[in-house]
Structure 1
Amino acid sequence: MIAIRYTLFALLSTALNIAFQYISFLIYEGFLSLYIAMFVGTAAGLISKYILDKKYIFFHIPKSKKDDGKKFFLYSLMGVFTTFIFWGFEIGFDTIFENENAKYLGAIIGLSIGYIVKYYLDKRFVFKD
């Protein structure tokens, strides 16, 4: 059951990430727009995924705001490595393929791989108690 929930949350966070990137491109398409969009999408996906994972995957109840902040920091730190996977695929697809939507396909593939890795990192290092 946790695998199903985790998959659904990963799909939801991926959709939010892509939607926020799309909105970012609607607002700005200038210099470094891809990187700005990836950052905006990453932030949206990170926050939503943290809330869902904390509550429904790892069943963590923070002892305080400080505890919640510490968990979010660790969760974000574990996401640095997986974000490089995601960004690498997105930038790679955007660079290699001439189709404007290729970057989104790369993002989806990179996020899929990243979320699998992230589950194990979070289980071992973030929500270990």
Structure 2
Amino acid sequence: MNLTIMYSIFALIATIVNIATQDIVIRHYNGMFAILASLIIGTGAGLVVKYVLDKRYIFRFRADSAAHDGKTFVLYTLMGVITTVVFWGFEFGFDFFFKTKEMRYVGGALGLAIGYLCKYKLDKRYVFRTEPA
């Protein structure tokens, strides 16, 4: 299967996991920090799913040890911080302007799509590079 199609499908899967997790959190907690809590937990869930899919099927990465895999995951997460700012900015922005849960999730999905485009390039260059540093 074409790498672009696979990456897009995996991004869609991670987006669904992220948004669905956010929705579950919001349904069970509606306190003062409900949206922030849902974003943090949803981001974490999507991150783990995307890492597993990317490392195995996109970059065909095999860690030498659990420690190596852990270091790779930390680097993958750090590259994600940059793209998470974009994602959260869109989601919070849509929440601020439209004031509906549905539009907040639309903003989140748009932010994730933009972020994933950037993240692929960062991951290829810095996380799963095949040549020595």
Asked if Structure 1 and Structure 2 have the same fold, meaning a TM-score greater than 0.5 normalized by the shorter chain, the answer is: yes
Q: Which residue of 2 aligns with 1:92?
A: 93
Offset of 1:38 from its aligned partner?
0.3
Q: Which residue of 2 aligns with 1:123?
A: 124
CA offset digits 1:62-113 (Å, max 9, x no partner): 1000110010000000000000000000000000013331110000000000
Q: Which residue of 2 aligns with 1:24?
A: 25
Q: What root-mean-square deviation, in Å, do the aligned CA atoms of Structure 1 and Structure 2 show?
A: 0.6
**Cα separation, 2, equivalents of 1:3 and 1:119:** 10
Q: Which residue of 2 aligns with 1:81?
A: 82
Q: Which residue of 1 aligns with 2:39?
A: 38
**Cα separation, 2, equivalents of 1:99 and 1:122:** 33
Offset of 1:60 from its aligned partner?
0.3
- The runs of at least 4 aligned residues of structure 1 exceeding 6 Å deviation read none
Kindly tell me the number of residue pairs found equivalent between the two proteins: 129
**Cα separation, 1, equivalents of 2:101 and 2:78:** 31
TM-score w.r.t. the length of structure 2 is: 0.95
Offset of 1:30 from its aligned partner?
1.1
Indicate the SS of the match to 2:101.
coil
Q: Which residue of 1 aligns with 2:109?
A: 108
One-letter code aligned to 2:101: E
One-letter code aligned to 2:118: V
Residue identity over aligned pairs, in percent, reads 49
